[in-house]
Structure 1
Amino acid sequence: MRHQTTLTDLARLGFADLETSRQRLGEFDGLGAAVVPLFADAADPDQALLLLCRLREQVPAQLQAVLADAAAAARLVRVLGASLGLGDFLLRRPAELEALTRPLRAPLDVDQYSADILAALDGLDGDAAVTALRVRYRRHLLQLTAWDLEQSDPLAAVSVVAAALADLASAALDGALAIARASSRFPAADVERTRLSVIGMGKAGARELNYVSDVDVIFVAEAADGLAGDRAVEIATRLAMETMRGIHETAFEPELWEVDANLRPEGKDGALVRTLESHLAYYDRWAKSWEFQALLKARPLAGDLELGGRYAEAVAPLVWSSASRDGFVDSVQRMRERVTHNIPGDELDVQLKLGPGGLRDVEFTIQLLQLVHGQADPAVRQGATLPALVALADQGYIGRVEAAEFSRDYRFLRLLEHRLQLTKLSRTHLMPTDPDALRVLARASGVSPSGSELSEQWKRTKNAVRRLHERLFYRPLLSAVAALPEEGLSLSSEQAAARLAAIGFRDPAGALRHIAALTGGVSRRATIQRNLLPVMLQWFAEGADPDHGLLAFRRLSDDLGEAYWFLRMLRDSSAAAQRLTHVLSGSRFVGDLFERIPEAAAWLESDSELRPRPLSALLDEARATVARHYDDADAAALALRTARRREILRLAMSAILGTITVEELGAALSDITTAILTGVLAIAHRYGDGIEFAIIAMGRYGGAELGFGSDADVMYVYRPAGATDEEAQSRAENIVRTLARLTEDLRTPLDLDIGLRPEGKNGAIVRSLESYRAYYARWSLTWEAQALLRARGVVGDPSLIESFETLADEVRFPAAIPEKDVREIKRIKARVESERLPQAADPARHLKLGRGSLSDVEWFVQLLQLQHGATTPGLRTTSTLGALDRAVEVGLVTDADAAKLHDAWLFASRARSAITLWSSKTSDVLPTDRAQLEGIARLLEYPPGSASQLEDDYLRTTRLARHVFEREFYGTPSSPKPFTA
């Protein structure tokens, strides 16, 4: 008699396609009132019913036998609703339906799995044996899935199921190895004397395998009973290959999973099988840090377990000492970053395993904690993630509450992973976005009533896991030095120091002292910073110099004390706090300036505060400062110098945070210089003193191309305005001396360099306009005309500035430049390269005078300006890049050549400023020290670990520019010969 079910009943049971499902039920005489309610427990009732109908059509009698057993029927409906893959298996192998009538009280152990699989292979060989192996494996998988799906607490069952899957994989590998041995073409006696152990890595090694996962392995061989070692490796290699084929090569029964041996020494390029001695020799000499991290989970999985045990015992000391290797944490961090970077963009937000807040975040953090503390504490040397988490809590390295919370998060993510993979028995880690698929996943997992709620729970879990590193790695550091009340969060000073050293602090003892000072006591500041420091320590550790960053932060906190705005900014603006850690750990220059101007930290909350102030505002401030201190020149100058430091600090933070380009930086630093010179000149040169006076910017200052630490090249000019010539000269010289005195600043030096004046260092420090005119008309050398190309009046009497620039135009833009003068420019350039480069300096690394660097680009552009400036108005600019762009427009330089010169000039300019920001010292040489290069690379927005990449990029960029320079400036593809007198 057919069972009548309404559409409402079907909807209540969870069916989606109600009409089709009612028709199928109506045609299915074998389903009665006792069976239909079972669909309420199916993840996808529609799928379960469809598969039942197909089974009824194919094997009605066998299906009926299962349905007649109420418990077996419930298992079948659950399995078919959760796994299309297992449904297909039953359609291929209907005889295996009988397995569902044999319920598991608990999953089998590895010995039971192995014994049953080997029994199934008895008397079989070749393809028949492979088929029997895979069918028996899936029979056990079917039973395990049925047991898993009927658990009232699926989260608690995750670890049990994962361990059983690893044991089942071990048994399958043993079976495949047995088939390989039985069918080997080598003499049976030699095969028998060849010992082969399969070492489980990754999740298989940790007994936390997924339903469908690559099984990572390493093969170890050994000869027995007098067999030659090379012969044993040869035979073992063939056995390993056949074992792998037995698991995943195409056959009558589909493959089980991929056997992945790429974690072996040298990866894909290495030998598939090695002896134990060969493995150890490789690990002692060549292995990278990540390889020891991978070996953390190594255990004998199949084959010769005694040999595998010796392998695991031999590599263990290498694993548990790996955290002390140079660059260990960097290598772990880079591995995590590579994992994230390799995720396709459209998968990043749905990656359950590799994405932010995913399984890998939990696993990497726990492994890092194990490797750091396992050096001295054997209790945390666990293979699996959850037992390791328990051990870390038991030993006091993390809090018990946090361990329990993240154990739950990890189980939840693993449960979702299991249910997703069960669907089609496929290796996937992508959360569905389709509402129907989410609904099915929610029903399968049993932890959320609906798809939307499951999605929200997953998002909450991701956010919690994102904070995992902070909460598990950093907070215990505070309890080691500050009397925090949280139970189970205490570390000894030695343990805390080990953590700090592991994450990149070079002076962990000093860092602990800073943490104690920041978090000690009962003040409001100490309370807030105890809450802030866990995440800030993480950010400091991500910087190039975490030690200096933490020290600078302590000094800043001491300077600002209980300032409400500072504590509020740290507490309420995570973006500002992260910016602060970024600039402090990346720049000693900024740290030094913060000691004088701590209140500048407030700018980090606002992008607009980090933008350069316009020149008009700077000039207004300078004039107001002078007016306020009209009768006290020293006080006015001090205020002007303080304002300059403040604006330089603003630009330094902006440059580090990437909110300003190098062109904007050059202009802004030039404006700051102009502002202070405007103020001090107003002090030194009072109205009505009988002369007009002006400051002419030269060099990079004239081109508005200053960098941090750049000198300010200037010339001084005056014109009598009532005073006699002798009085005017004396007064002008006094102004120059006053300018030098009032701008002197030991903290942020302002070197007013007058080396480009007529006659150079031998010339007068200041001249009248008529003296300049007479000199240039009679004595001027070609290099002086070249120097005037970037002359720009910046401060002083406007009419005098205009007159000087008119005079300069007559010299720097001649109607024609004689060929002998062009040759002289080239001769001087060759002499500069030969004589001015510091002794022992590498020409390829000198940012100013080196090959393809600033000097090459600027001399090339300046020669074009001298040759064509009279006829091409666009070339009459003090800007190097502006003149280069105009030269391209008028066809003097090709786009390709200009691009190479442009890139080299920008690269060298940025690197010069980065050196000053990093070290708080000026230098024109790209360092060779790796730590210095790394800090500079980070300031140039390279990712961590890019010291060598920065070096390679700079050398390549300047090499290309040098080729252009030699061809177009010297007219030869080869470098000029060194100048000789």
Structure 2
Amino acid sequence: MNLPDSIELPADLSSSQARARAALETLSREWSGADALSPAQWPPARVEMFVRVCAASDFVLEQAERDTHAFFELAASGDLDAGLGKGALRQALAERLQDCTSEDDLMQRLRRFRNRQQVRIIWRDISRQADLAETCRDLSELADACIDLAYQWLYRAGCTQMGTPIGRHGGQPQSMVVLGMGKLGAGELNLSSDIDLIFGYPEGGETEGVRRPLDNQEFFTRIGQKLIRALDATTVDGFVFRTDMRLRPYGSSGPLVYSFNALEQYYQDQGRDWERYAMIKARVVGGDSAAGKQLLDMLRPFVYRRYLDFSAIDALRTMKQLIQTEVRRKGMDENIKLGAGGIREVEFIAQAFQLIHGGRDLSLQQRPLLRVLETLEGQGYLPGAVVAELRDAYIFLRYTEHALQAIDDRQTQMLPTDEATRARVAFIMGFANWSAFHERLQQWRERVDWHFQQVIADPDEEDGELPEVAPGAEWAAVWDDALDADVASSQLGDAGFAEPDEVMQKLARLREGANVRAMQRIGRERLDAFMPRLLAAALEHEAPDRVIERLLPLVDAVVRRSAYLVLLTENPDALQRLITLCAASPWIASEIARFPILLDELLNEGRLFSPPMAPELAAELHERLVRIPEDDLEQQMEALRHFKLAHGLRVAASEIAGTLPLMKVSDYLTWLAEAILQQVLALAWRQVTARYGAPKRADGSVCELDFIIVGYGKVGGIELGHGSDLDLVFIHDGDPQAETDGARPIDGAQFFTRLGQRIIHLLTAQTVSGQLYEVDMRLRPSGAAGLLVSSAASYERYQQQDAWTWEHQALVRARVLVGCPRVTAMFEKVRAAVLSSVRDQAHLQQEVSEMRAKMRDNLGTRTTAAGTDPKAFDATAEFDLKQDAGGIVDIEFMVQYAALAWSHQSPELLRFTDNIRILDELGRTGRFRAEDVHLLQEAYKAYRSALHRQALQKQPGVVSGDMFHEERRGVVRIWRELGLT
């Protein structure tokens, strides 16, 4: 078909116009349906309108491209050109659902019907063939029809499956009532509005007609859940209406469905002012309409007081202040609903008069806003000029809202920032450009906001000035326990807390705890200023309950040092970082609660998420310590601990932020340990030599720190995790018999023993900042029965003559962490000689296998025989990441076995102490197949990554048995291929 060239659209819409023209050309060429529907039959005006509408709305164009036949049938039906009569939408949908056979079929038919009607409504709105009243009415009637007819279908199906619900007292069949709230209740839905619903049923009882009857509440809960799914779930056909149930009593934490008595009791006893405000627009939109009228009559006394309700004024002032607080939030200026002078402020003006006067003036007991404004003028509550401004502003704002949502059927009230979308909005609104439209919009918003400020104005407010409201001010009353428990709970629940009652209990325990009761006035003022901010900040996180659970112990820990509260109050970015880290990791939360000094680290984001490299770590720690007098041991120990805590936090923060991968996390934690050990060794050496003098070498010369600290296990393998202990061995090269040269001489053996003891004390002593590390010395020669510190000669002799195979396995992962370079070279020579000894391979296989079997028996998961039982792979089982078959220790043992078996032929296997690089060498030397090396490395990294996550969550190294199947089976296969059992 030939499109007319005369369509004049703004230049900014040229690309959208071109797309629409091209789409219609394509659809016309590919059309193979009935000629009566063909776009070739379209008059030029229809073609021009198609291009205009599709240039403005991607949604309409996408629907035309997605379901061409349905779109052309709609165009041919005449529904685009004329409004529908009352009840037409319901009748059309009822016909479509007549032969519906299943819930999935119901969902598909509802969505396709909704899409057809949405195209029709948007078309007529953009083309201004429909005014605002028609658009809102059609959308609301569409929602009514979808809700009620879906419910009726689901109810009939439910009665067949679960029995018919019968009232306990009346003995009559029961049907649910669906109340529509907000814009749906008022018949004012917008183009992409969600729907707020409340479900109720007349009375309790049980279902009849089935063998296993259900309680009526359970029956209607199931029906309600199915109804929400039928409307809200997104499928290939889209959705019908986004459904929000949070306006029901107790919000998301309350039952989905209430009996009438329960609803009446709730609102009578616990209903809050904001719920009165919301209930003004409640309307029966589905289910039993007669019962629904009865329910609304029951609730009317809660909404409308019989007397002139000046008691509502203070509550409305509070709501107004909350609105004023919210409009100041970042980004609200661009929100035409929630921002200053937006739709919500017009609604507030009208509903404030309804709440105050509606009990006596029945003419105000109505839902549509424009009719309420008309009544306010007619009854003399507002001057005609004010009503005219509010009405015209509201209509302009609602048209703007529809323009924003018509573009791609998206629920938004935010003004666009990109030029193309701005051009579309201006075009839909009938303006030549964005500037002209935006200028008019601002004029209307300024007038609305001015009128809003005049409504129930606080006499204490100065003319023209808004009161300063602190961040989180809406939570001050909750923290102060100034609200009824149900009101506070509802505010918390409505705001987003999943378990508001638990949050209230936690707040009460803090508020009533000994630490808070003992606070001085200034400290309590700081706490009262901080807590509302914390609640508000927690709600910006996806899991606010978790934030409160993990941060309140920290607050309790610092209330006696309230300067920390000031730090967080005055640094909202630091508070957000604290929330993010604590929500992600209970380990971090407990560390900061134990050591609040870590809060200082949150002030510098760049530093927090960028831990330094090894040389910078060592230099920074050295610089800190040189500022402390050498004789001030307490300060030195505190400095070491704070350094470790601070950098441990930075590593954990970087891991959570994703800026450090697993292998780098272990590198940094190992570098941190080495930097600390270097300073601890130096500090211990100074202290012991100051007391006893320096030890001697065998040749009589003075030792110059002829001492090394050897790391085994995780620290030796550069695989430290959060909270790992240190497996250490101490070796010296002094003369054990020669005496030191100090005023209180002792022999060399005693000196180095006391040096080792001093090192352990410095590392493990508990101070106000905790301890540096747990230290395990059991891998030294002869274990717990051996000397604390070995001479180089005795260490070599032990390894060559007395060490067990498992000790040689451990030696594979051993390396010098800090100490004398000369003694380090001696150790490395001994290690190489011991590990590269020729071994009987069969005997080695037996020794390694037996040791591994003992470990599995003692440490593996008992219920699955350490992961060897077939049920170990079930979801109900557990998999110990380290000790079970196919886990970390199996990989470590294979690497150690390979090093012991083949390093005499392949000395490259001794170059590194970490498993990943030893595996690289096993692949490079051909000892392991490349694919097996890759499998073992990836499995090892996956296991360790899971261990790190568990550690940050303060969980043991155990996961579900249905995890890591491929890795576990691959590891076990390679284990067996190596001849290990």
Query: Given the alignment, which residue of 478, 496, 503 partners 2:498?
Result: 503
Distance 1:728 1:924, change over 3 A: farther
2:140 corresponds in structure 1 to 163
**Could you tell me which residue of structure 2 aligns to residue 643 of structure 1?**
643
1:647 CA drift (Å):
2.5
After superposition, the C-alpha distances for 1:596-619 in whole angstroms (9 at most, x for unaligned) are 352544445323443333333443
Q: What aligned pairs does 1:814-963 form with structure 2 within 5 A after superposition?
A: 814-815=837-838, 818-837=841-860, 843=866, 844-876=878-910, 877-919=912-954, 924-926=956-958, 951-952=959-960, 955-957=962-964, 959-963=965-969
2:709 is paired with a residue whose SS is strand
- Contact 1:847 1:924 (8 Å CA) reproduced: no
**Counterpart mapping for 1:340-379 below 5 A:** 363=244, 370-371=251-252, 377=270
1:681 counterpart residue number: 681
Q: Distance in 1 between matches of 2:151 and 2:884?
A: 64
Give secondary structure in 1 for the equivalent of 2:612.
coil
Query: Which residue does 1:967 correspond to in 2?
Result: 973
| In structure 2, C-alpha distance between the alignment counterparts of 1:566 and 1:214, rounded to whole Å | 37
Task: Verify the 8 A CA contact 1:416 1:445 in the aligned structure 2.
Answer: yes
Alignment partner, residue 669 of structure 2:
669
Q: Is the 8 A contact 1:108 1:164 kept in 2?
A: no
Q: Is the 8 A contact 1:166 1:208 kept in 2?
A: no
Match of 2:281 among 368, 387, 402: 387
Offset at residue 735 of structure 1 (A)? 1.3
The verdict on how the C-alpha distance between 1:638 and 1:113 changes in structure 2, with shifts beyond 3 A counting, is: closer
Backbone CA RMSD of aligned residues = 6.3
1:399 paired with 2:399, answer no
Conserved 8 A contact 1:703-1:880: yes
Aligned letter for 2:281? Answer: P
1:607 is matched with: 606
Partners of 2:600 and 2:249 lie apart in 1 by: 33
Give the secondary structure class of the aligned counterpart of 1:387.
Answer: coil
Q: 2:610·2:654 contact (CA, 8 Å) conserved in 1?
A: yes
Q: 2:727 aligned with 1:713, yes or no?
A: yes
Tell me: CA distance 1:727–1:116, structure 2 relative to 1, closer, same or farther (3 Å): closer
Out of 526, 538, 541, the residue aligned to residue 539 of structure 1 is 541
Q: Report the 3-state secondary structure (helix = DSSP H, G, I; strand = E; otherwise coil) of the residue aligned with 2:904.
A: coil
TM-score normalised per structure 1: 0.58
Residues 665 and 515 of structure 1, relative CA distance in 2, 3 Å threshold: farther
Q: Report SS of the residue matched to 1:613.
A: coil
| Amino acid of the structure 1 residue aligned with 2:730 | Y
Q: CA deviation at 1:855?
A: 0.9
Residue 730 in structure 1 maps to residue 753 in structure 2: no
Deviation at 1:788, TM superposition (A): 0.9
* Partner residue in 1 for 2:260: none
Which of 765, 776, 799 is 2:788 aligned to? 765
CA apart distance, 1:878? 0.7
CA contact (8 A) 1:719 1:800 kept: yes
- C-alpha distance in 1, partners of 2:636/2:915? 35
User: Which one-letter code corresponds to 1:492 in the other structure?
Assistant: D
**Superposed displacement of residue 810, structure 1:** 0.5
What residue ranges of structure 2 are gaps of 5+ in the alignment? 1-5, 16-40, 65-69, 96-108, 155-172, 198-207, 255-262, 284-301, 305-311, 328-336, 345-393, 443-468, 697-702, 740-745, 867-877
Contact (CA 8 Å) 1:525, 1:561: kept in 2 or not? Answer: no
Structure 2 residue identity aligned to 1:442: A
Q: Is the 1:113–1:167 Cα contact (8 Å) retained in structure 2?
A: no
* Structure 1 residues 699 and 109: CA distance shift in structure 2, 3 A: same
What is the alpha-carbon distance in structure 1 between the residues aligned to residue 971 and residue 71 of structure 2?
71
Maintained 8 Å contact 2:587/2:953? yes
**Contact 1:869–1:875 (CA under 8 A) maintained in structure 2:** yes
Query: Is contact 2:250–2:490 with CA below 8 Å preserved after alignment?
Result: no
Tell me the SS of whatever aligns to 1:831.
Answer: helix
**Contact 2:680–2:763 under 8 Å retained in 1:** yes
Q: Could you tell me whether the CA contact under 8 Å between 1:703 and 1:790 is conserved in 2? A: yes
Aligned partners of 1:545 and 1:586 also within 8 Å: no
1:965 counterpart SS class: helix
Q: Distance in 2 between matches of 1:115 and 1:804?
A: 90
Post-superposition offset of 1:858: 0.8
Kindly tell me: are residues 646 and 96 of structure 1, through their superposed partners in 2, closer, same or farther at Cα, counting changes over 3 Å?
closer
* In structure 2, distance between residues paired with 1:852 and 1:540: 36
Correspondence 1:694 to 2:708? yes
Q: Does the Cα contact within 8 Å between 1:540 and 1:585 map onto a contact in 2?
A: no
Q: Secondary structure at the match of 2:953?
A: helix
Code of the residue aligned with 2:975 in structure 1: it is F
- How much does 1:820 deviate? 1.1
Write out aligned runs for 1:351-500 (5 A): 363=244, 370-371=251-252, 377=270, 387=281, 399-400=319-320, 406=337, 408=342, 439=423, 441-445=425-429, 450-451=433-434, 476-482=474-480, 491-500=483-492
Displacement of 1:583 in angstroms is: 1.7
Alpha-carbon distance in 2 for matches of 1:92, 1:819? 86
Distance 1:853 1:15 in 2: 61
Deviation at 1:495, TM superposition (A): 2.4
| Aligned twin of 1:941 | none
After superposition, what is the alpha-carbon deviation per residue over 1:85-104, rounded to whole angstroms, capped at 9, x for unaligned? 9997897467997x68xxxx
- Give 3-state SS (helix, strand or coil) of 2:720's partner: coil
Cα-to-partner distance string for 1:637-695 (whole Å, 9 max, x where unaligned): 34323332333233233333333222222222222222332223223324633252221
Counterpart AA for 1:616:
P
Secondary structure of residue in 2 paired with 1:764: coil
Instruction: Return the offset for 1:902.
Output: 2.9
2-structure distance, mates of 1:81, 1:545: 43
Task: Give % identity.
Answer: 20
Q: Which region of structure 1 is more displaced relative to structure 2, 734-743 or 627-636? A: 627-636
Query: How do residues 305-316 of structure 1 correspond to structure 2 at under 5 angstroms?
Result: none
Aligned residues: 717
How far off its partner does 1:811 sit?
0.6
**1:617 to 1:199, Cα distance in 2 relative to 1, 3 A:** same
What's the CA shift for 1:279?
Answer: 8.6
Deviation at 1:806, TM superposition (A): 0.9
- Provide the secondary structure at the position in 1 that maps to 2:708: strand
CA distance in structure 2 between the partners assigned to 1:167 and 1:562 by the alignment: 54
CA drift of 1:838 comes to: 8.0
1:744 aligns with 2:750: no
Whether 1:630 aligns to 2:630 is yes
Structure 2 distance, partners of 1:520, 1:292, is 54
> Structure 1 residues 901 and 955 mapped into 2: Cα distance closer, same or farther (>3 Å)?
farther
Displacement, 1:114?
7.5
Residues 429 and 413 of structure 1: is their aligned pair in 2 closer, same or farther, counting only changes over 3 Å? farther
User: Within 5 A, what are the aligned runs for 1:552-563?
Assistant: 552-553=554-555, 555-556=557-558, 559=561, 561=563
The answer to whether the 8 Å contact 2:909/2:918 transfers is yes
Equivalents in 2 of 1:724, 1:521: separation in Å? Answer: 61
* Contact preservation (8 Å) 2:729, 2:777: yes
CA deviation profile, 1:290-314 (whole Å, cap 9, x unmatched): 928939x99xxxxxxxxxxxxxxxx
Query: Is the Cα contact below 8 Å between 2:732 and 2:790 reproduced in 1?
Result: yes
Q: Give the letter for the 2:899 counterpart.
A: Q
User: Residue 626 of structure 1 contacts residue 683 of structure 1 at CA under 8 Å; is this kept in 2?
Assistant: no
Amino acid at match of 1:636: Q
Give the letter aligned to residue 759 of structure 1. S
Q: Does the 8 Å CA contact 1:597/1:646 hold for their aligned counterparts? A: no
Contact 2:710-2:818 within 8 A present in 1 as well: yes
Secondary structure (helix, strand or coil) at the match of 1:671 reads helix
Q: Mark the CA change 1:679 to 1:476 in structure 2 (over 3 Å): closer, same or farther.
A: same
Deviation at 1:839, TM superposition (A): 6.9
CA gap of 1:721–1:598, structure 2 versus 1, over 3 A, is: same
